[in-house]
Structure 1
Amino acid sequence: MYEQLFALMLPLLIFTLTAASTPGPNNMLLSANGAHFGFRASMPFVFGIRLGILLLVVLLSLGLGAIFTNYPAAQQVLKLICIAYMLYLAMKIAFASPVSKQDKGAQPLSFWHGVVFQFINPKAWMTSLTCLSAFTLVGEAYFYSVLMVIFAWSITGFIGSLFWICCGVAMQQLLKTPRHWQIFNITLALATLASIAMIIGN
Structure 2
Amino acid sequence: MPLHEFTALLILATAMSFSPGPNTTLSTAMAANHGLRHSLRFVAAVPVGWSLLLVLCAVGIGALITGMPALRWGIKALGIAYLLWLAFKLSGSGQLAQAQPAQLRVGFVQGVLLQFVNIKAWLLALTIVAGWVAGQADFTARMLVVLPVMAFYALSSNLLYACIGAALRQWLATGRRLLWFNRGMAALLVLTALWMLRA
Q: TM-score range by the shorter chain?
A: over 0.9
Counterpart of 1:154?
151
Q: Please say if 1:22 is aligned against 2:22.
A: no
CA distance in structure 2 between the aligned counterparts of 1:53 and 1:40, rounded to whole angstroms: 21
Alignment partner of 1:124 out of 121, 126, 130: 121
How far 1:107 moved relative to its partner?
Answer: 7.1
- TM-score, scaled relative to structure 2: 0.92
Percent identity (aligned): 30
* Structure 1 vs Structure 2 CA RMSD: 1.7
Other-structure match for 1:196: 193
Counting only pairs closer than 5 Å after superposition, residues 59-138 of structure 1 correspond to structure 2 as 59-99=56-96, 100-103=98-101, 108-136=105-133, 138=135
Q: Distance in 1 between matches of 2:67 and 2:195?
A: 24
How many residues matched?
Answer: 198
* Distance across 2 between alignment mates of 1:70 and 1:108: 34
Q: CA deviation at 1:61?
A: 0.5
Contact 1:25 1:192 (8 Å CA) reproduced: yes
Q: How far apart, in 2, do the equivalents of 1:127 and 1:107 lie?
A: 26
2: CA distance between counterparts of 1:9 and 1:28? 28
Matched, 1:34 2:31: yes
Question: Tell me, what secondary structure is at the counterpart of 1:138?
Answer: coil
How much has 1:108 moved relative to structure 2?
3.9
Task: Give SS of 1:128's match.
Answer: helix
* Counterpart amino acid of residue 8 in structure 1: E
Once residues 108 and 154 of structure 2 are traced to their aligned partners in structure 1, the CA distance between those partners, rounded to angstroms, is 15
Structure 1: segments with no counterpart, 5+ residues = none
Q: Matched residues in 2 for 1:62 and 1:129: separation? A: 11
Counterpart of 2:158 in 1: which secondary structure? helix
The alpha carbon displacement at 1:15 in A equals: 0.7
Corresponding residue SS for 2:59: helix
Distance, in Å, in 2 between the alignment partners of 1:32 and 1:192 is 11
Q: Distance in 2 between matches of 1:128 and 1:48?
A: 16
Give the Cα–Cα distance (whole angstroms) in 2 for the partners of residues 70 and 21 of structure 1: 29
- Give the TM-score normalised by the residue count of structure 1: 0.91
**1:173 paired to 2:170:** yes
Q: In structure 1, what is the Cα distance between the partners aligned to 2:141 and 2:100?
A: 47
Could you tell me whether the CA contact under 8 Å between 2:89 and 2:103 is conserved in 1?
no
